[in-house]
Amino acid sequence: MPWLPRAALLWDVVLGFLGTAAFLIDLGADLWAAGQYVLSGRYLWAALVLALLGLASVALQLFSWLWLRADPAGLHAPQPPGRYLALLHLLQLGYLYRASIPHLPRCVQGLQQGLLVWQQEAPSEFDLAYADFLTLDISMLRLFETFLETTPQLTLVLAIVLQSGRAEPYQWVGICTSFMGISWALLDYHRALRTCLPTRSRLGLGSSVFYFLWNLLLLWPRVLAVALFSALFPHYVALHFLGLWLVLLSWVWLQGTDFMPDSCSEWLYRATVATILYFSWFNVAEGRTRGRATIHLLFLLSDSVLMVVTWLTHVTWLPSGIPLQMLLPASGVCFLLGLALRLVYYCWLHPSCRWEPDQVDGAQDVCSLEGRRLPHNRRLTHLARNFFPRVRDEAALPQKGEENGVL
């Protein structure tokens, strides 16, 4: 593991603080919105907001507990007894030890570890490895929380605005923080995957901007289309989601995922990935993914166009004050611009690397260096192997993403 400059370590810590702040702002906006809905007598809307929070919390507590049991013994020492940890997770407090909703304490632990490493003149290999181990799990769980709670809540708020014909200040705050939080979670997850590369190449500022923008620009049209359908047919949107979710779940299953420690918990992971795929792209299988990504993009595009066409045939159902005549063309422009930025990123900014078998296929989650066992996050390394392409020879190590078949 090559030593990282102190500036790079400090930058990682700063981004960690920003990510935690984004989570807190988004959570505050959600609670603010739920409170306002209760005060205005919109109990169903408040219940939906809180239900999405609770559902995401339960799912992430399960991930936390399963990963905790799969981690090497003694890694998180001192470790409370197993029954005590189970009780913490049952009470939705499991991420006082491991990140979840509320996952702030675990984020604080990761930030403290990062600050500890940065303050050292020559940080040890173990400190660097353990800081990365914590960061990888936090990034993954934050991504799950984003698509299990933040994105559905964003869709709900937009549907409410479309139905009512106006947006309150707390709704504008929720919409803005949700879009920024979702894009930030995707960027943070991608940066975490970069740390799993054999060369440990960091995501530069230019690459970060491109990755952030194309995710934001492609996400907006999809969320707006779903929100339009929800506003017009609130009683059928659940059936629409369930139908597409089952198709996407079957697709994930057919790709033979092997992420979780056992076959039963693997279905929890597949169900979560299917929810992510309902809104955005998420690669789960190794190999040339350009074809799979194209199929997914066309699938979501076709579904979104059908929902917009449905709106066009029922335009009088919505208040006339909503400027959809401008929003829909703007969404089309956002989609095309986001697609162009995505192509630019994968053609020139996406790294290729040489994967060695022992870097991703080892039976243990730790590796040894100079007689000391180092934490090794096999979960995220496995996903990094799926996300970043292999190269055929050392001459291909420079950044070439598109020609190696990753999109």
Domain-embedded: residue 347: yes
Element (DSSP H or E) covering residue 97 = none
The pLDDT score that the predictor gives to residue 258 is: 86
Q: Which residues, in sequence order, are CB contacts of 232 under 8 Å at separation 6+? A: 310, 311, 314, 317, 318
The pLDDT score that the predictor gives to residue 76 is: 61
In terms of pLDDT, which residue wins out, 82 or 398?
82
The rounded distance, in Å, linking the Cα atoms of 142 and 264 is 22
Domain-embedded: residue 35: no
The winner for highest mean pLDDT among 218-232, 338-352, 373-387 is: 218-232
List Cα–Cα distances, 323 to 248, 320, 327, in angstroms: 32, 8, 6
Question: Is the bond into 102 cis (omega within 30 degrees of 0)?
Answer: yes
For the chain, how big is the Rg over CA atoms in Å? Answer: 21
Domain-embedded: residue 280: yes
Confidence class for position 73, pLDDT limits 50, 70, 90: low
Average confidence (pLDDT) over 33-62: 90
Count the alpha carbons within 13 Å of 268 in the hemisphere toward its beta carbon.
Answer: 19
Cβ atoms 110, 135 nearer than 8 A: yes
Cβ atoms 61, 78 nearer than 8 A: no
Counting the structural domains of the chain, the total is 1
Indicate if the pLDDT at residue 335 is higher than 90: yes
Domain-embedded: residue 18: no
Cα–Cα–Cα angle for 159, 339, 136, rounded to 5 degrees = 80
Domain-embedded: residue 307: yes
Indicate the pTM of the whole model: 0.82
Average confidence (pLDDT) over 229-250: 92
In terms of pLDDT, which residue wins out, 167 or 240?
240
The rounded distance, in Å, linking the Cα atoms of 89 and 87 is 5
Domain-embedded: residue 265: yes
Residue 281: phi, psi to the nearest 5? -85, 140
The rounded distance, in Å, linking the Cα atoms of 236 and 22 is 32
Beta bridge mates, 390: 353
The pLDDT score that the predictor gives to residue 326 is: 79
Kindly state the percentage of the chain with pLDDT values over 90. 23
The pLDDT score that the predictor gives to residue 273 is: 95
In terms of pLDDT, which residue wins out, 317 or 240?
240
Cβ atoms 214, 187 nearer than 8 A: no
41's torsion region: left (phi>0), alpha (psi -120 to 50) or beta? left
- Average pLDDT score over the chain: 75
Confidence class for position 270, pLDDT limits 50, 70, 90: very high
In terms of pLDDT, which residue wins out, 351 or 381?
381
The rounded distance, in Å, linking the Cα atoms of 368 and 92 is 35
The pLDDT score that the predictor gives to residue 395 is: 35
**What pLDDT, in 10s, does the model give residues 91-119?**
666 655 554 333 333 444 444 444 554 45
**What pLDDT, in 10s, does the model give residues 162-210?**
888 788 888 888 888 888 788 778 888 887 777 776 665 666 777 878 8
Domain of residue 212, residue span? 204-314+324-351
- Which residue has tokens 């894009």? 183
Residue 373: phi, psi to the nearest 5? -85, 130
Domain-embedded: residue 299: yes
DSSP structure string for 104-119: HHHHHHHHHHHHHHHH
Kindly state the percentage of the chain with pLDDT values over 70. 64
Indicate if the pLDDT at residue 368 is higher than 50: no
Q: Which residues, in sequence order, are CB contacts of 239 under 8 Å at separation 6+? A: none
Confidence class for position 86, pLDDT limits 50, 70, 90: confident
The rounded distance, in Å, linking the Cα atoms of 242 and 231 is 17
